[in-house]
Amino acid sequence: MSRRARKELVVPEGLSEPDLKEILSAFDALDVNKDGSISKKEMKDAARMTGMNPTDKEVEEWWKAADANGDGNVSLQEYVNIMADNYVTIDLEQERMETAFKVIDKNGDGQISLQEFRAVMTFNNMFSKDEVDKLFKEVDTKGKGYIDYNDFIKNRMYEVLF
């Protein structure tokens, strides 16, 4: 990728430098003939190579969203814009989950005890005590007696709560 293309790039708000680097190198890999944009063929070939095999409909949908100016090519800027959406959403989601975890982990020791879990889950009579105990056991897969952040994420607990 030319220095010039990189310099003229408008970086979307909220996109971190490491994420941008990742997107740029993905673009570089996709742009096989190095003309500075991704053609539909390049995109399809790449998808096939990674074993994704998208249907024509999926390709069309992605393409419609990505090729913002409709000139039949996805430029670096268009690619960064569409990919940034994914990255920024993920970051936001992560932030939400961390906040949720901290809210439940009242004493801040990085573990959600049954007591802390109960306090939140029985709030507003959302769940009965029995339901809460059952849920706790399900989330605490290894029977540690507490829920750590990994359990919390894996079970998408924040979706239950927020």
- How far is 114 from 26, CA to CA, in rounded Å? 44
The residue from 22, 35, 93, 131 that contacts Ca ion (CB under 5 A) is: 35
The residue from 67, 87, 117, 120 that contacts Ca ion (CB under 5 A) is: 67
In sequence order, the β-bridge partners of residue 145 are: none
- Nearer to Ca ion by C-beta: 29 or 92? 29
Distances 36 to 28, 39, 77, 135, 151 between C-alpha atoms, Å: 8, 10, 10, 51, 43
- How far is 125 from 48, CA to CA, in rounded Å? 50
- Nearer to Ca ion by C-beta: 45 or 109? 109
Shortest Cβ distance from residue 74 to Ca ion (Å)?
6
Residue 31, interface with Ca ion (CB under 5 A)?
yes
Residue 115, interface with Ca ion (CB under 5 A)?
no
Shortest Cβ distance from residue 135 to Ca ion (Å)?
17
DSSP for residue 142: T
Q: Are 140 and 154 in contact (CB under 8 A)?
A: no
70: left (phi over 0), alpha (psi -120 to 50) or beta: left
Here the tokens at position 49 are: 């190579």
The residue from 2, 16, 25, 33 that contacts Ca ion (CB under 5 A) is: 33
Residue 109, interface with Ca ion (CB under 5 A)?
yes
Residue 69, interface with Ca ion (CB under 5 A)?
yes
Residues lying near Ca ion in the complex (CB under 5 A): 31, 33, 35, 67, 69, 71, 73, 78, 105, 107, 109, 111
